[in-house]
């Protein structure tokens, strides 16, 4: 009888003992799992028009569903993700995915909009599994390849964000919006089983009680200026990203008279932006985080200008979507690469603080985008979207002065990127 080859195992008491290389199959699994879980945050975006009709809601009220889901994600980042340093990760991931499955099943059978809101809040909290898996990959990767490994996993996560809108639109058009949530519930259950069977065990990096883990996360924010800076950068860009994708379905189903299938096809163009993720990882490994970040802000602001002036051209709106996605993905990977270098024993907590802070920007962007569209249409959304990266660009300009003060101390440069 043929024996089944043993799965590679990575066991360590600290990230420093990680294996010199990460198996390709494991990187692929982490990328797919990250994409599938984070997609739960974005399924609602192309469904807002359908939800408005079914529950008799205004556009601003329907847009609150996206905001509530992202607020839930922030809560999960603050209270669940730090446990990635405290508990065995495989068990934590599968337990949280079980809760996600239940929340999505409730969302799919919701009889009223408030029930859907509560279920979406819970699914947002538990969909942080992706942000437990990304620092897991960073722990396993050797220092010289960490940016590339994180970039590959993030490419899966970002593809999940972008393709979620296409999948949601197609399923909704064929079977109704409820099957979007019910189908995802089934996928989360299957993913929990797959990850439990395939993930290597990884020992905790701290024995601190839960309360102290949370306090230490807050302390990391206070003690690492680079963490605060990169979180604010990403909050501005993610706010612009959320404003665009929360409201573009109104533009497509309104002035452009698109069906849900048309919205699904349009959402595919954003997936082209995921191609930049591996390149961003290489730029991070080469120490180009600072100049590329400034470039990304300029690209995002220009993209909203294109979207505003070309709002009657679907080609220009699609081009804007691609550029916005590329800018957001680039700065996210550069930011994570910088943050993960701050403390190798606290990567889950660092990631928790980083993502939680910038998702506040995303939640505000969704809400402000819905309000702007309701008040003055797509033009107002374009002004809002262009203004956020321009504000970040002004803040980024102050980083050069900080860099000059640390130029003679290479060890300090990590904390100013």
Each residue of 220-230: pLDDT tens digit?
999 999 999 99
**Residue from 318, 266, 44, 58 nearest 172 by CA:** 44
Q: How confident is the model at residue 7 (pLDDT cuts 50, 70, 90)?
A: very low
Model confidence at 277: pLDDT above 70: yes
Size of the chain in residues = 417
What pLDDT score does 403 carry? 60
**Residue from 40, 156, 136 nearest 91 by CA:** 136
* Topology at the third CATH level for domain 22-416: Growth Hormone; Chain: A; (1.20.1250)
Q: With DSSP H G I counted as helix, E B as strand and the rest as coil, what are the percentages for the chain, rounded to 5?
A: 80, 0, 20
Please give the span between the terminal C-alpha atoms of the chain, in angstroms, as a whole number: 56
Share of the chain above pLDDT 70, in %: 89
Model confidence at 2: pLDDT above 50: no
Quickly tell me which residue has 């100049």 as its tokens. 291
Each residue of 130-166: pLDDT tens digit?
888 887 787 777 777 777 787 788 778 877 877 887 8
Q: How far is CA 342 from CA 208, 298, 346, in A?
A: 19, 27, 8
Each residue of 62-108: pLDDT tens digit?
878 888 888 888 888 888 888 888 888 888 999 999 999 999 999 99
Instruction: Kindly report the number of other CB atoms within 10 A of residue 320's CB atom.
Output: 26
What pLDDT score does 187 carry? 95
Tell me the average pLDDT of the chain.
83
Each residue of 351-398: pLDDT tens digit?
888 988 887 888 789 889 989 998 889 999 999 999 999 999 999 998
Q: Where do the structural domains in the chain lie, given as residue ranges?
A: 22-416
Model confidence at 236: pLDDT above 90: yes
Q: How confident is the model at residue 263 (pLDDT cuts 50, 70, 90)?
A: confident
What pLDDT score does 405 carry? 58
- Structure tokens, 117: 């809101």
pTM higher than 0.75 for the full model? no
What pLDDT score does 77 carry? 82
CB 170 within 8 A of CB 183: no
Instruction: Find which of 159-168, 192-201, 252-261 is predicted with most confidence, using mean pLDDT.
Output: 192-201
Angle of the 225-253 helix axis to the 48-55 helix axis, nearest 10: 60
How far apart CA 411 and CA 392 sit, in angstroms, is 25
How far apart CA 228 and CA 209 sit, in angstroms, is 25
């Amino acid at each position: 009888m043929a024996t089944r080859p043993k799965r590679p195992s990575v066991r360590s008491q600290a990230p420093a003992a990680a294996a010199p290389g990460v198996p390709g199959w494991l990187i692929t699994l982490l990328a797919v799992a990250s994409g599938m879980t984070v997609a739960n945050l974005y399924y609602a975006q192309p469904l807002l028009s359908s939800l408005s009709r079914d529950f008799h809601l205004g556009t601003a009220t329907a847009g609150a569903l996206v905001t509530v889901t992202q607020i839930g994600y922030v809560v999960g980042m603050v209270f669940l993700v730090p446990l990635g340093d405290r508990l065995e990760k495989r068990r934590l991931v599968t337990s949280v995915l079980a809760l996600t499955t239940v929340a999505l099943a409730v969302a799919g059978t919701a009889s009223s909009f408030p029930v859907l809101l509560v279920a979406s809040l819970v699914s947002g909290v538990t969909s942080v599994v992706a942000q437990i898996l990304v620092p897991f990959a960073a722990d396993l990767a050797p220092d010289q390849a960490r940016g590339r490994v994180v970039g590959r996993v993030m490419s899966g996560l970002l593809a999940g964000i972008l393709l979620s809108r296409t999948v949601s639109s197609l399923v909704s058009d064929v079977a109704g919006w409820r099957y979007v949530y019910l189908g995802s519930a089934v996928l989360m259950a299957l993913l929990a089983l797959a990850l439990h069977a395939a993930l290597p065990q990884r020992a905790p990096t701290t024995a601190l009680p839960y309360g102290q883990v949370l306090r230490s996360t807050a302390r990391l924010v206070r003690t690492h200026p680079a963490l605060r800076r990169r979180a604010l950068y990403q909050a501005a860009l993610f706010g612009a990203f959320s404003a665009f994708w929360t409201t573009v379905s109104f533009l497509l189903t309104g002035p452009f008279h698109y069906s849900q299938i048309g919205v699904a096809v349009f959402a595919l163009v954003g997936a082209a932006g995921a191609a930049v993720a591996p390149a961003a990882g290489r730029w991070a490994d080469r120490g180009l985080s600072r100049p590329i970040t400034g470039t990304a802000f300029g690209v995002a602001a220009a993209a909203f200008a294109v979207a505003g002036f070309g709002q009657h051209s679907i080609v220009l709106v699609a081009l804007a979507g691609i550029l916005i996605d590329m800018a957001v993905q680039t700065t996210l990977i550069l930011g994570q690469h910088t943050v993960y270098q701050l403390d190798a024993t606290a990567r889950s907590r660092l990631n928790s603080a980083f993502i939680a802070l910038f998702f506040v920007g995303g939640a505000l962007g969704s809400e402000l985008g819905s309000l702007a569209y309701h008040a003055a249409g797509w033009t107002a959304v374009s002004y809002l979207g262009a203004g956020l990266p321009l504000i970040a660009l002004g803040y980024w300009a102050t980083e050069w002065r900080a860099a000059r003060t640390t130029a003679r101390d290479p060890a300090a440069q990590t904390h100013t990127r």
